[in-house]
Amino acid sequence: MKDIARQGMSIKVESMDLLNSQIKMEAHASATYLAMASWCDQNGFFTSAKFFRKQSEEEREHMMKIFDFLIDAGGSPFSPEVTGINHDYASIVDVFESTLDHEIAVTKSIHNIVMKAREVGDIATERFLDWFVMEQVEEENTIRDILDMISVTGTEGVGLQVIDDHVGNWMD
Ligand code: FEO
């Protein structure tokens, strides 16, 4: 990007570069959750499949929120290349544990951008990310609650089907 164009931005260059990386991370999450929806559907976890389809849509919305913010701030959002999507999971427990790992990584990344924005005095980016910080608290909490439910229900006998039915409790 030309230096003159960067000077016309109301966000700092450091923030823009990190937000473009975050766009890619949200796109990767969206694609990953779609792969999980496919795995759940193929393995008879139909409610979980709907849950992950919806998560996938929400991650794309997160991506577009950042994309639009960069446009509004005079920056240059990139359309991300998404590769390396895992389609293989050992079990439904593995799916939800991987989801928690993924969300924790996203939280760390968002916090890192907040800290950087603060460091370079980019107040607009810091304020913009407030919503993401709270969204991550909610998302991590949802997945932890589902993992607690799985551990209480157990995976023996009809447990797996009960788990799938209960996942519906976390869908709006
Ligand atoms: Fe948009 Fe769940 O991270």
Between helices 46-72 and 130-153, what is the axis angle to 10°?
A: 170
Q: Is 25 in the pocket of ligand 1 (CB under 6 A)?
A: no
Q: What CATH number corresponds to the domain at position 59?
A: 1.20.1260.10
Higher per-residue pLDDT: 3 or 104: 104
Q: Is 59 in the pocket of ligand 1 (CB under 6 A)?
A: yes
Per residue in 44-79, pLDDT (tens digit) is 999 999 999 999 999 999 999 999 999 999 999 999
Q: Is 103 in the pocket of ligand 1 (CB under 6 A)?
A: yes
Per residue in 84-120, pLDDT (tens digit) is 999 999 999 999 999 999 999 999 999 999 999 999 9
Ligand 1 centroid – CA 6 distance (Å)? 28
Q: Are 23 and 67 in contact (CB under 8 A)?
A: yes
Q: Is residue 108 domain-resident?
A: yes
Q: Which of 22, 101, 33 is nearest to 62 (CA)?
A: 22
CA 139 to chain CA centroid, nearest Å: 8
Q: Is residue 83 domain-resident?
A: no
Helix (H) or strand (E) holding 17: helix 13-42
Ligand 1 centroid – CA 43 distance (Å)? 24
Spatial separation of the C-alpha atoms in residues 140 and 132, rounded to whole Å = 12
Q: Is 8 exposed, middle or buried (0-12, 13-18, 19+ CB in 10 A)?
A: exposed
Q: Is 122 in the pocket of ligand 1 (CB under 6 A)?
A: no
Q: Are 11 and 73 in contact (CB under 8 A)?
A: yes
Segments forming the whole domain that contains residue 63: 2-78+88-170
Q: Is residue 16 domain-resident?
A: yes
User: Residue 163: pLDDT band by 50, 70, 90 thresholds?
Assistant: very high
Q: Is residue 10 domain-resident?
A: yes
Name the percent of the chain lying above pLDDT 90: 90
Ligand 1 centroid – CA 39 distance (Å)? 20
Number of domains in the chain: 1
Annotated binding site for Fe cation: 26, 59, 62, 103, 136
Q: Is residue 73 domain-resident?
A: yes
Q: Is 66 in the pocket of ligand 1 (CB under 6 A)?
A: no
Q: Is residue 43 domain-resident?
A: yes
Q: Is 139 in the pocket of ligand 1 (CB under 6 A)?
A: yes
